[in-house]
Amino acid sequence: MKKDYTHIAFVLDRSGSMSSSKIETIKGFNSFLQEQQGLEGKATFTLVQFDDQYEVWHDFVDIQKVKKLKDKTYVPRGMTALFDAIGKTINIIGKKLSDLKEEERPEKVVFVILTDGQENSSLEYRFEVISDMIKHQTEKYNWTFVFLGSELSAVDQAINMGISSSNTLNYSADAEDVQILYKSVSSSVSKLRMAKEAKMDFFSEDEKASYRSKIQKK
């Protein structure tokens, strides 16, 4: 493993229901990207956008070469093929890593999933398969999976998939909360990149409770 080298994968929902938070999503993602680009240490980046279609926008590239999202490069549409997006991205990254020599592989892999809804249109991957894939990558290769969902049921499903509860967050999709969400995720990714350990808990119980409280008030 190559010390001080992190690969970040970001699987971003762009289904039609994300239209209401399009501007906030673009701003939040760009602030996340800017902070990660400003850190020391090597980082590569994979960005996937999905609806019922699947597109890889950046494929294991140097994070400094990743471009900010714009109005024309993030266009919500379609349904939510969440399982297909997760499964395909795990396989893409796994293949990239297997092609690298051991000493060239990143010390840490963090896999962020953001969606405002539940799975409703996958054709290739089922829940049980995704659960097995996440378990394998987590237990054998120490990948860190992070799930951000604006529906509590989607977060519960992520936990049932095998994603650690401390790495899941149920958020409100209004403008202020989306910005806070991205800042929180970026802060945790930054801590992981600088930490000696390859894994960590992303969200404290107080942080999760704060988000739950905001949602209940809306």
Token pair in block for residue 182: 């991205």
In which residue ranges of the chain is pLDDT below 50?
A: none
Q: What residue spans define the domains of the chain?
A: 2-217
Cα–Cα distances in angstroms (integers) from residue 59 to residues 40, 99, 133, in the given order: 21, 14, 20
Residue 216: the pLDDT is: 57
- Count CB atoms within 10 A of the CB of residue 116: 22
> Any idea which fold 2-217 has?
Rossmann fold (3.40.50)
Helix (H) or strand (E) holding 57: strand 54-62
Residue 99: the pLDDT is: 96
Q: How many helices (H) and strands (E) does the chain have?
A: 6, 6
Residue 217: the pLDDT is: 58
Residue 37: the pLDDT is: 98
Residue 213: the pLDDT is: 60
Token pair in block for residue 218: 């809306």
Q: Which amino acid is at 143?
A: W
Tally the residues of the chain.
Answer: 218
Alpha helix ranges (H) inside 100-174: 127-141, 152-161
